[in-house]
Amino acid sequence: MQTLELRGLNLNAISSLAQAMTRTIPAGVTFGLVGTLGAGKTTLVQQIAAATGVDAGDVTSPTFTLLNSYDASIASGPITLHHMDVYRIADEDEFLELGVEELMDDPQAWTLIEWADRVESMMPRQTIWIHIDFDADSASGNADDLRSLRFASASVRFDETFQKLQRQYLRLVDERDQSAE
């Protein structure tokens, strides 16, 4: 299993990470977002949406609507950004009744699913899992504002992608830091 772990990320760093994702991860991907309540799953989706040209202010957690879709764009071209929250889904049958298989199979979309661990057995093998945690080991001591994100996938399809993502992310953070000086 290929993994990538990033620690000590503040909101600006998460924004840079989202930009790096749009430059390195192809269309046709499902993301399983995992983390405790308040860990930052929706915030990550908002930053991804902003990086794809969607107004982040329009992105809210679809806890009650279950699914929101947006016209977006990544480096490889236009995509549909599907954002789901399955926190209130009772079981896997209800999950499938939403038509998610069609969404997850869409080659021109990114499907981001909050609380995806609740329907893990229904997720595609090629899912990119993003585990979001409060960063308690942060050097700043302010774990409330910092997160650690761990990307993982069982698919060999993403072995090189995670390496490219890390390089692109570090490049963007470096550029941001230089422009702030």
Q: Nearest 5 degrees, angle CA 143-CA 46-CA 157?
A: 90
Q: What is the mean pLDDT of residues 136-164?
A: 81
DSSP 3-state of 102: helix
Residue, of 128 and 143, whose pLDDT is higher: 128
Q: What is the pLDDT of residue 142?
A: 55
pLDDT(89) > 70: yes
Tell me the pLDDT tens digit for each residue of 57-67.
Answer: 999 888 778 89
CATH annotation of 2-150: 3.40.50.300
H or E element that contains 83: strand 77-85
H or E element that contains 63: none
Q: What is the pLDDT of residue 177?
A: 82
Q: Do the beta carbons of residue 163 and residue 36 sit within 8 Å?
A: no
The proportion of the chain whose per-residue pLDDT surpasses 90, expressed as a percent, equals 75
38 sits in the region (left: phi over 0; alpha: psi -120 to 50; else beta) called left
What's the whole-model pTM score?
Answer: 0.91
